Amino acid sequence: MTTTFAVNTDELDERFLASVKAMFPHQTVEIAVSNPTEMDETEYLLSTPANRERLLKAIADVEAGRNIVIPDQSLFR
C-alpha cells in the first residue's frame, strides 16, 4: 500500500505521526521528503519545447550511434 501525504511542515506533529503509525501498524515504512514547488534538473531542462526537442534528439542520436565525438585520449595522459 502506498499513501502520499501533502502537508505543511507546521502540520507535522504527534497527531500526524500517530495517524501514520495507525495506518501501518508494526511495519517498516519509507518516508521521502520533497518540495513540490521546486523543479529538479531534468524537469527544468525539459520544460521548454525547444530544449526538450534538442535533448530528446541528442538522446536518440546517442542510442543510434550518431554524432558521437570521441576526444583524443592521448591529451589526457
Cα diameter, the chain: 63
pLDDT along the chain (77 residues), means of 10: 86 92 93 81 88 94 92 88
Cell, residue 67: 554524432
- Residue 27's φ and ψ, nearest 5 degrees, are -125, 155
Is pTM beyond 0.75 here? Answer: no
The reported pLDDT for the residue numbered 60 is 95
The reported pLDDT for the residue numbered 6 is 86
The reported pLDDT for the residue numbered 42 is 85
